[in-house]
Structure 1
Amino acid sequence: MFQTEFLININAVDQFSRKEELLPAVTKYRKIKFAKMGDTSSDMMNHEQRYLFDMTGYLHIEGAVTGEKLKSVQEAAERYIYCHPNQRPPGFEPRGQELSVEELGNRPLIRYQHGFAFDRCLEELTVNPSIWPILKELTSDMPRLVSGTLSYEQYDPDRPPVEKNPAGLHCAREGRYWYTRYEVKNGRIFCNDLVFFFYLTDVNPGDGGLIVIPGSHKSEFDRPEGLLKPGPDGIDPESNPVFTNLTPKAGDFLCISELLTHGVLRWKPKDRSRQFLILRYRPQYEGKVSLPQVIIDRLTPEIQELVSAASYGHTKEIVKQDAITLNY
């Protein structure tokens, strides 16, 4: 059974409690774990997942991929990261300018386009059984995979300080307010802008990485511009109980609504990199297919259908399945 973990900022949650029940000002966190309906017998989220995703705006799914399967995924990602430009399949390259062989895996931040399609084991992650029921429900059984980027980050000694908004807090509401949606109807959640991060390497407490403001996906107010203040290094924000730093391990998924306010702390380890896939999903009827044909052509029939656009109400064959087996 997969385990789903929620790290809840008690101070943030208890703002909804009676004043006499509020906890002291000291920041406290509670980890809540429970077995996920990931045994392929269910095609829906369970009650605890709905409740806690609705409360916090994110899910942490532990141990989705382990053992030899995890090793295969990590090795496939490494092959893409360090692949010589002359040996890359068509359509695969770092985002932005081309890198020299010496720069591959040797820059502070590199985004490798279409990482999910580089190898079959990476492609399988897009419909991993730990996330498939969640993905179907949150898109009202009309999912479309928009993109899947492989991200590589390492310590940057030359990162400049910032004057405002340390950690780069942002959310979909700030850029396309009327377009993004988060709704609950008939006991199910609908969200039209989702991100699933699959982690290839460990993130330990104190390493840095993703931060979120739990519950902000349902905020009715604009984020105050000076909510977080730069800390002593001028890069990361001062410690503040309003945000939570999520620390997944290799093989874990983090699922967030893009409406959730989130940002990134500076990556601090000098001997380890942060590697993860960024899988973006939206409803099938919103927008056109965003992947180049050369990438689509190399996908399995199941994932070709997943990335395809379709009309509202159309049921893809892949959605009729509780568990997906790719044919290759």
Structure 2
Amino acid sequence: MPDAPLDLSIRPLSGPEELNLFLELPYVLDHELADDLATGRRRPEWMWVALRGDRVVARIAWWSRDGEAPLLLDFFDLDDTLPLAEREEAGLRLVETATAAVVPAGAPRPEYGRYVPADWREDPAVREAVEARVRVMERTGARLLVERLRLEWRAGTPVPADSGRLRFRPADGREDLLALMTPVMEGTLDAHGQQDLASGLSPREAAEKHYDEELAGYSTPREWWRVAELPDGEPVGFVVPARNSYNPIVAYIGVLPAHRGHGYIDDILAEGTRVLAVQEDVARIRASTDLGNVPMAKAFARLGYINFERSFDMVWDD
């Protein structure tokens, strides 16, 4: 660390008119910021900068679905031309100052999510930049929960026809889907699900939390959601195609424990992909899965989804 603290001015944006100031540092989600501000998913008071003179040396921002409360910390950038110790000091001071102002006292700190190149470990400069941000967050008490693969199906990629092994019907409301999500939570390979179970939630409670905090927020038709059954009507699994604020997505997919090991995941993922790619004629579909969930990653790869990016999810336990 430098012998003397950096001379920094740390403050939120005064309004949307200062967006260009925030854009002085780059990130892959920059193109979403103007619309997020216009629709209320972001507020200027949730977007902070650390200035050294008139130069932005670090920035941070939170996101929300409805603008009521920050749900996710998804922007944290440093000026990577600065010496490593200086950029980390600037970042640490910014995180601590902005968090104290944005996150209500006593409230849990929103998860930090960061997108990184799929090959980020192979480029020394990119790796240093990623690891610097992780170190700053760790110094504030965060820990890495999971690294995830970000996946994309693109128009022109073949979509397999229905194999006929399963039949599909629309999910019949919240309870219908929760009855299937609950057993899927048992023995889940998903790090967020594992964290919920480790916190003391039952599989049913963890399923309800996931439904209410994520799935219930999608405005796209529930008729897109599919339950997979054997010809005799026994449920095998489900898939939730949807559209979030930015992209068509495969939001959630699962195979019931009793039916794993038979390759049904391919049939179910293909159905979810058909809903969006064929029925809705979208140009691309986004999805993600934990790096450690190898069976799910292989299923996406077999269907032609490419790993175009990765992401880090970091959490605070206090």
- TM-score range normalised by the length of the shorter chain: under 0.3
User: What is the TM-score of this pair, normalised by structure 2?
Assistant: 0.27
Tell me: higher relative CO, structure 1 or 2? Use CA pairs within 8 A at least 6 residues apart.
1
Whose Rg is larger?
2
TM-score normalised by length of structure 1: 0.26
User: Which structure carries more strand by proportion?
Assistant: 2
